[in-house]
Amino acid sequence: MSENGQTVPIGCSIALVMDTTSTSPIDNMPGASELDPALCYRMMLARDRRFDGRFFTAVKTTGIYCRPICPTPPPKQENCVWYPSAAAAQGAGFRPCIRCRPEHAPGLAVRHGDSLVSRALGLLQEHWSEYPSGGVRAIAARLGVSERTLHRSFRREIGASPKEFEDTRRTLFAKELIVDSSLSMADVAFAAGYGSVRRFNANFKDLFQRSPTSLRHEASQKHQQGVGDSGIVLRLPYREPYHFPSIFQFLEQRAIRGVESVVGGEWRRVVRIGESIGVVAVRDFSKKRCLEARVAIDDLSKLAAAKARISRIFDIDADAAKIDQQLSTHAFLAEDVRSRPGVRIPGVWDGFEICIRAILGQQISVVAARTLAGRIAAKFGKKIGDLRGGDGLICAFPTPEELADANFEGLGIMPARAETIRRVAQLLCQEPTLLTGAWPSEEARARLVGIRGIGPWTASYIALRALGDPDAYPEKDLGLMQALAGWGDGVANAWRPWRGYAVIRIWTLPQSSVMNKASSGTA
């Protein structure tokens, strides 16, 4: 079956226009533990946006750390210290710049993939509120490693401990809400994960040398989005290039009726985090190089987790320039990379949902699978009632607990597939972390393939969209085989370790383009 709906250094020089077919100075950037001061200083002087979020400049004379694109006059090189992440700079005792706003820097590319740190970051950002004060120990245990191993990996790749990373994330998220919203300070503290308003106020006074209220008063009024009937507005910065039309169209074609909708260039859906339910709406805000998300949720403590999941759905942390450079090395995708730079892998809100959709989509069209998923959601999903921003949306997609013993009669689902759905639901009731990113991709796929009715194609598709595996490759997909006919068995090897991005590109190519490429390959 086919998911695309077919039947089948330039040294260390600084270039402000990116050429994805040549070696970029980005590729010459050292790892987190060995930043080159001279190179970082030149990138900072150039204010090159490609390096935004890749390192941070801390100034010893002011005690402030900034993004490399900060508009303030550059400090002297001897006064600068370089850090690979905001967490590393803040853990070293520096405070965030109010002008360049580190909270709006693009995310860490290290979050992308199947490494220990990548999996840990997913848990830290989406599930921290589930843990008591000993959260790092609990997360290490959940990942099957020692706390010391987790610390060592974080220090090597991010330059900070897991606790420093979480403290920085919480501080920067609170700062974003202070400046960009009109939430009360009590609500900001609660949404950012502070245990009390007193602790929140004390933390900000120690770090910023002013109260949260003073910080809001100092912020430019043009930043404040407010909190209206449609929910809280959040900005999710991405590193260019970002091809929003491709991911938007992919999600639009698969929108489950009653759960998701596309209205006026905006993708919306009902979301559920634990017992909390809400509505999110996302659109592209290319002028500011970010996505703009409106979140209306009944529990503000889930707001940060909602932001992390939206980031995952729209794959905003991917290093698109690096990926495109690799994909363009083979003639098959070179033209598409030039015409559509920055194509991303569409993620999912919940891994269980994509399991069900993959099972339903076996050997039928995308439209038919979407119809069946809509019937399941309408019958078993939790109704949302009159929730802000929920116009036209009526329910959330059901949880594993709600489908573990479900009766699918009358929905048009074959009995064998219905049984597979129940078995997947039962597995996730027993192993709720299986599709959260806590498990390595290969292990999660092996558990899924152990269920009757789930084969390699289905497991690879789940790994691609639910686990964010950038190299997941459903090689028996009919659309891929048709498109690659005549190009040889080794074509996909040229795309490693980004074969998942190649798959999405091929699935979203126009039908005529796929046929032309297949013909060219045969010739």
Q: How far apart, in whole angstroms, are the C-alpha atoms of residue 365 and residue 367?
A: 5
Distance CA 318, CA 168 (A): 21
34 three-state secondary structure:
coil
Q: Cα–Cα distances in Å, from 82 out to 33, 64, 99, 111, 476?
A: 10, 12, 18, 20, 46
DSSP state of 364: S
Beta-carbon count within 10 A of 380 CB: 17
- Annotated catalytic residue, options 48, 52, 66, 315: 66
**Other beta carbons within 10 Å of 15:** 14
Choose among 457, 455, 435, 443: nearest CA to 503.
457
Distance CA 393, CA 277 (A): 12
**Known catalytic residue at 70:** no
Residues β-bridged to residue 270? 279
66 assigned to active site: yes
* Secondary structure in 3-state letters for 377-393: HHHHCCECCCCCCCCCC
> Cβ distance 125 to 308 under 8 Å?
yes
Structure tokens at 260: 């998701």
- Strand order through the sheet with 56-59: 80-83, 56-59, 64-66, 95-96
Provide the token pair at 241: 């290039």
Active site residues: 66, 477
